[in-house]
Amino acid sequence: MKKIILFLFLIFPSLTFSQNKPKDSLPTTWELLKYDGTSAFKGLTTTYTQPLKWEKDDFLTAGTIVLGTGALYIFDEEANRWFENQEPHIPGIIKDFGWYYGSPQNHFAINGAVYLYGLFTKNEKIRKTGVLLISAASTAGLIQTISKTAIGRARPGTDAGKGSFKPFSKKGGFHSFPSGHTILSFTTAYAIGKQFKNPFVKAGIYGLGMIAPISRLWAGAHWLTDVGLSMALSILVVDTIDNYLNEERDYGNPHKTKISWKFQVGLGQFGLIGTF
């Protein structure tokens, strides 16, 4: 019995866990950048292949979006006239904000700034948000770039009507569907809004994200269905990538955390040490 007690006293001091990682195991900025780039790209490819994994609820959601777009289509021309009539009464600063915030160069500059801040400060939450912003904007932006040319829907300003299409037309007047300004601005707003739990903060961010889509309706650049479906696309893309990042990434360290075990025998010590 005394031998057993003595053995426990000898082994207990060595049954400790070290939570301090060696300095050479901490990720460098370059390692984080490579890891985040790969993660952003996988977010893009995951979104494009996600329909292959759809289940019943996903098809129901897609069907609801299609039906909702069809309902908006009925009122496209009436909505266009109403929004254009409001345009003279809108303050210039709001219209300017909508235009500049939804422009690709400004959009990606904002997203890039968010990510770089998180990268150089090694702030995990901001890094994750930056990766989400860049990946979602790239994914949705590529979809709208290809779709607007392939679909070739006439803009309201062409006076060709809501049902006029010229697929693969090189004319900007037939690049109405979907709305690039809407996709970029609302993708950013929705991605940032997801980082907050306060419903009032979320509403404020989403409200800012709505300015660019509505400004395109005031300007007669898009139909209501263009804007509505573009917002739905933004939400689907952001949610898909956000779910992927939450499941697959280790934001603090690109090296997956592992526990290593080793026996240690020494003067007055005999035990098992775990390092993680």
Q: What is the pLDDT of residues 47-61, one digit of tens each?
A: 999 999 998 898 999
Domain count, the chain: 2
pLDDT at 18: 38
Q: Taking CA 85 as the corner, what is the angle to CA 80 and CA 89, rounded to the nearest 5 degrees?
A: 135
- Edge-first strand order for the sheet with 260-266 is 17-18, 269-275, 260-266
- Shared-domain flag, residues 91 and 190: yes
| H-helix or E-strand spanning residue 271 | strand 269-275
- Shared-domain flag, residues 105 and 120: yes
Interacting residues of 71 by C-beta distance below 8 A, sequence separation 6+: none
- Shared-domain flag, residues 249 and 151: yes
pLDDT at 98: 84
- Shared-domain flag, residues 39 and 23: no
- Shared-domain flag, residues 107 and 51: yes
Alpha-carbon dihedral angle through residues 113, 185, 43, 61, given to the nearest 10 degrees: 160
- Shared-domain flag, residues 141 and 18: no
What tokens appear for 200 in the block? 């009032």
- Shared-domain flag, residues 78 and 17: no
Confidence of residue 155 (pLDDT cuts 50, 70, 90): very high
Mean pLDDT along residues 236-250: 89
Res 234 pLDDT > 50? yes
- Shared-domain flag, residues 61 and 120: yes
Domain that holds residue 166: 29-254
- Shared-domain flag, residues 275 and 238: no
Residue 157: count of CB within 10 angstroms of its CB: 15
- Shared-domain flag, residues 248 and 268: no
Mean pLDDT along residues 122-132: 92
- Shared-domain flag, residues 170 and 136: yes
Whole-model pTM: value is 0.79
- Shared-domain flag, residues 70 and 156: yes
